Chain A
Amino acid sequence: MISVVLVAAIKSVLVVVMVLAGFAYATLLERRLLARFQLRYGPNRVGPFGLLQPIADGIKLIFKESFMPATADRLVYWLAPAISMVAALFVYAVIPIGPEIRFFGTTVPLYIADVNVGILLVLGASSIGVYGVILGGWSSNNKYALLGCLRSSAQLISYELAIGLAVVSVVLTAGSLSLVDIVNAQQRLWFVALQPVGFLLFFIGALAETNRAPFDLPEAEQELIAGFHTEYGGFKFAMFYVGEYVGIITMSLLVTTLFLGGWHGPLLPGPHWVAIKTFAFVCLFIWIRATMPRVRHDQLMAFGWKVLVPLGLLNVVATAVIVALVGG
């Protein structure tokens, strides 16, 4: 009993450290890539290739003065960024990054928990993450923050539905809710080939869920200053940022797991393939941000409810009929 808890605790610490390091370098990657897309250099002065820049940023954010608007709701103002960060980190309990490996003579699976309802747990955690944005925007007592949080709650609820429907079609194809089983079901053929519509739905939904361009309305600078985190600074702002960038990594990892065969790939060992595929999707997220203009809010809602949701429903029905006919 104790040893089980201990192993899980060690794995959790390792995963959190890895994810936070991934977050730090995702911010650097984004700044460097965006600069390259715009024919600039980006931050390249701190350390070789600017590799120490995230550390400098982190130190700066930690030592910044911690201010708070006078009329803010104290408890909620502190709670919101914490919710955002914890919900983003929590999903790594069930996302597998590789099959079992031999380690000091014992078999260690490269995931913390293979729960029977894994993918639902991921969706649940992401729906809790919405509260960070909503409560942060409300508690700041600022009209721009409030507008940003209202926009984002409407957006997140709508696009969560599209993601959910895409996931349902994957679950129907794999016949299991466990992420490990879903990866194992893709040994021969990746689900991106079997579920191209689901893949597109999921990816578009992922862009909206992480508040990324072209769906970054909750923080549209021209209209809302910085949206829901207008009144946040210092370490609390950093926690929102952790939530956002870890969300991007999570979504890339999920696309990899659900549609691109997870750790399956030739030659290299499993975790390498997971890392390569995830990295490619993080770059795609940044590339899209550098390329696409922001959509209007009514266009966003109309697209979500009138295009993505009906398409997702049709896809689920078609998948169910095919699975029933083939006898999966």
Chain B
Amino acid sequence: MEWIIFVPAAALAVAGGVGVIAARQPVHSAIALLVVLAALAVTYLLLTAQFIAVLQVIIYAGAIVVLFLFVIMLLHARSGEGPIEKLPRQRVAAAVFAALFLAALIAGSVAATGPLALAPEGFGTAQQVGEVLFVTYLLPFELASVILMVGIIAAVVLVKRVPPARGEGR
């Protein structure tokens, strides 16, 4: 039964992924990325992870890609086209790592095949995710928030213009 939804969603995700790297214009790539994220949200729903699915839409599709688009439009406002920049030496490395990643994915999914258990009652709801996050894994969660905080402060420091020191001003 789930095949009816899974196959189109998965195909859409793959097509969107190809679109991200194949599109000529950065804005089209961003739209393709949006398709990938939306299709992934549908597959999360199929896995009864409704909370994660909605968060995926709000945060990734709703906020992050909007910021991508915003930057693309501001930087290349006239045409929406990026600078043509070839990275010839990285192609081989990229192919090797992509192949390795694919092998790891296939190995992982083969190892995971077996009799499937039904998700327990209430699985994937906001309550369950909250309990796991704030009771079972409280310390790692708080540590992650500290790391994110450091990242935010670093970003602010990096973009801050240092005023010229007194005396040597023009």
Contact = CB atoms under 8 A, between A and B. Distances in A.
Given A73-B25, A120-B51, 5 more contacts: A116-B50, A117-B50, A124-B61, A138-B73, A149-B73
Give the secondary structure class of B's interface: helix
B10 interface: no
B69 interface: yes
23 contacts: A73-B25, A79-B31, A115-B50, A116-B50, A120-B51, A120-B54, A124-B54, A124-B57, A124-B62, A127-B57, A127-B58, A127-B63, A128-B57, A128-B62, A131-B69, A134-B66, A138-B27, A146-B77, A150-B70, A153-B69, A153-B70, A154-B70, A177-B126
Give the secondary structure class of A's interface: helix
A324 B43 CA distance: 36
A123 interface: yes
Contact of B63 (A76, A154, A157): A157
A76 B27 contact: yes
B66 A117 contact: no
A164 to B, nearest CB: 9
Contacts of B55: 120
B126 A117 contact: yes
Interface string B73-105: 110010010000000000000000000000000
Contacts of A120: 51, 54-55, 58, 126
A192 interface: no
A21 to B, nearest CB: 28
A127 B50 contact: no
Interface of A: 73, 75-76, 79, 115-117, 120-121, 123-124, 127-128, 130-131, 134-135, 138, 146, 149-150, 153-154, 157, 160, 177
A247 to B, nearest CB: 15
B145 interface: no
B51 A117 contact: yes
A135 B31 contact: yes
A127 B62 contact: yes
Contacts of B74: 150
A120 B54 CA distance: 7
A107 to B, nearest CB: 23
A153 B66 contact: yes
A117 B55 CA distance: 10
B40 interface: no
Contact of B61 (A115, A128, A134, A146): A128
Nearest to A119: B54
A134 B74 CA distance: 12
Contact of B126 (A73, A116, A150): A116
